Chain A
Amino acid sequence: MLRLVGALLLTAGAAGLGLCAAGQLGERVRSLRSLVGGLEILKRELSFRRTAMPELMERTARQAGEPARYLFARCRDHLEELGERSFGQIWVRALEAEPELLLTREERAVLAELGQVLGRYDADGQIAALERAEEGLKVCLARAEEDRRRLGRVYTALGVGSGAMLAILLL
Chain B
Amino acid sequence: MMVPVRRQAAERFSQAAALLPWALRQGAERLPETDKARVEELRLRAGRPPTAVLPEGEVPLPGLEGERVTGEDLRLVLEVATQASAHAVLDRVREGFVTVRGGHRVGLCGSAVCENGAIRTLGSLSSLSIRVAREVPGAAAGVRPMLRDAGRTGGTVILSPPGGGKTTILRDLIRRLSDGIEGPPLRVGVADERGELAAMYDGLPMNDLGARTDVLDGCPKAVALKLLLRAMNPQVLAADEVAGPEDAAALEEAAGCGVALLCTAHAAGPEDLLCRPVFRRLVRRGVLSRAVVLTGRGEGRRWTLAELGEGGPC
Contacts and interface: CB of A to CB of B under 8 A. Distances in A.
B254 interface: no
Contact of A83 (B76, B82, B90, B121): B76
A82 B79 contact: yes
Contact of A120 (B18, B79, B88): B79
Given A52-B82, A83-B18, A86-B75, 7 more contacts: A82-B79, A83-B76, A83-B80, A86-B76, A119-B82, A122-B90, A122-B121
Contacts of A79: 83-84
Contacts, number: 61
B20 interface: yes
A83 B130 CA distance: 14
Contact of B84 (A46, A53, A122): A53
A74 to B, nearest CB: 14
B201 interface: no
Interface of B: 18-22, 25, 72, 75-76, 79-80, 82-88, 90, 120-121
A118 B21 contact: no
Contacts of A126: 87
A52 B76 contact: no
Query: Could you tell me the dominant secondary structure of chain A's interface residues?
Result: loop
A50 B87 contact: yes
Nearest to A126: B87
Interface of A: 46, 50-54, 56, 79, 82-84, 86-87, 118-123, 126
Contact of A52 (B72, B88, B120): B88
Contacts of B85: 51-54, 56, 119
22 contacts: A46-B87, A53-B85, A53-B88, A54-B85, A79-B83, A82-B76, A82-B79, A82-B83, A83-B18, A83-B19, A83-B20, A83-B80, A84-B22, A86-B75, A86-B79, A119-B85, A119-B87, A120-B79, A120-B84, A120-B86, A121-B87, A121-B121
B21 A83 contact: yes
